[in-house]
A = this chain, B = another copy of it.
Amino acid sequence: MSSSDRHDGRVPPPTSTRYHHGDLRRALLSAAAEEIAANGVAALSLRELARRAGVSHAAPAHHFKDKRGVFTALAAEGFALLHAMTTEVLVAEVDDALVRAGECYVEFALEHPAHFAVMFDAALLDYSDADLTRERDIAFDNLYQAVRRTTAAEEPELTMQVVAAWTVVHGMASLWLTGNLPYPRSRDQVSLAFRDLSPSLLRIAQAALGDR
């Protein structure tokens, strides 16, 4: 830690080694996302995050109570990201808002696999965290809105359609992330996959109804 790289202006240089990190919370969350994406949720330790952020192992305690706090913050961030992506689609007032919102869901999962892995895992999260539940609720709101754009159905049919739509995109995201979809794991494949799978989905649904 030489004295030359202490601070050279109002905005601290993010690459130099300084006593105060500047944005350690952000850095720890990013490190957590990388670590989880690479080695899974079971491998995460706070000391490892501190190491990745180039900070002493006691530093994270200033930003997160414990490991659960990191997972919870990551999940909240994930819901916020998903909400932002789907909101973009909804405000565009396009015809196929539901399909586009569904594509958002899958694109989000592919781009942020660590967030996705954590968002629905009750064993990892602290649901008394107001941030988490708020972000989750507003993200979920957008799904409801997207479904409403394609149907005039009232409850309880509306909820059934929300569940059906969510089921499809959630299944798709999960299978894709686990390498079980015949497409490369890339965001720009999502629209193509939707186009390919929609007719098959229709066939499957028809078969399910017709065979009864």
Contacts and interface: CB of A to CB of B under 8 A. Distances in A.
Interface of A: 39-44, 95-96, 98-99, 102, 120-124, 150-151, 157, 159-161, 163-172, 174-175, 178-182, 194-209, 211-212
Nearest to A203: B161
Nearest to A44: B42
A102 B98 CA distance: 25
A203 B123 contact: no
A178 B120 contact: yes
A10 B112 CA distance: 57
A167 B160 contact: no
A212 B123 CA distance: 39
Given A150-B211, A170-B171, A199-B209, 16 more contacts: A41-B123, A42-B42, A42-B123, A98-B204, A98-B208, A99-B212, A120-B175, A150-B207, A157-B200, A160-B197, A161-B203, A164-B203, A168-B204, A195-B212, A198-B208, A202-B202
Contacts of A203: 150-151, 161, 164
A118 to B, nearest CB: 11
A104 B175 CA distance: 18
A200 to B, nearest CB: 4
B164 A197 contact: yes
Contacts of A207: 98-99, 150-151
A198 B163 CA distance: 11
A197 B124 CA distance: 29
A182 to B, nearest CB: 6
B164 A201 contact: yes
B120 A180 contact: yes
A124 B201 contact: no
